[in-house]
Amino acid sequence: MSVRPQLSIKAQVAKAATIALGLIIGTWAFFGPVMAWHHITVFGILGGVVLNGEGPHDPIRPRWGDEDVIIHPDRLAISGVLWLLYLVLLFWICRKLARWADVNLFQRRTRTA
């Protein structure tokens, strides 16, 4: 069983900041409002949820304020799966980047006796 060396405080802060920024950007891209025109707002890059404020109200659709809520379950599910894959990739890249930064940027060298 191998023991990983502890990251320096600077590397831990850099890793946490990178993960936080990546979570904000990734979550916004997959589920946030990304497109809007006239009275229509599309949430997520695949358009899993759409707010439609144009035209007459469709009594079958749920409403949010004055807008119809259109939910595409297949697009929402695909967005969720892609978001989870994005998270795995984000954490993997941040782990590798923190180890590299600890040695190369913050000049932390392991000493050998």
In a domain, 24, yes or no: yes
In a domain, 45, yes or no: yes
pLDDT of 57: 82
The helix (H) or strand (E) run that includes residue 41 is strand 40-43
Q: 99 forms bridges with which residues in the sheet?
A: none
In a domain, 3, yes or no: no
Q: How far is CA 61 from each of CA 27, 30, 31, 70, 74, rounded to the nearest angstrom? A: 26, 23, 20, 7, 17
In a domain, 70, yes or no: yes
Per-residue pLDDT of the chain (113 residues; tens, 9 = 90+): 666 678 888 888 888 999 999 999 999 999 999 888 888 899 998 999 999 888 888 888 889 888 899 999 999 999 999 999 999 999 999 988 888 887 777 765 555 54
Enclosing domain of residue 68? 9-104
Q: CA neighbours within 13 Å on the CB side: how many for 80?
A: 8
Q: How many domains does the chain have?
A: 1
In a domain, 111, yes or no: no
pLDDT of 111: 52
Cα 31 to Cα 63: distance, rounded to the nearest angstrom: 19
pLDDT of 64: 86
Among all chains, which residue has been given the structure tokens 């144009």? 54
In a domain, 113, yes or no: no
In a domain, 72, yes or no: yes
pLDDT of 72: 93
In a domain, 109, yes or no: no
Cβ-based neighbours of 97, under 8 Å, separated by 6 or more: 14, 15, 18
pLDDT of 112: 52
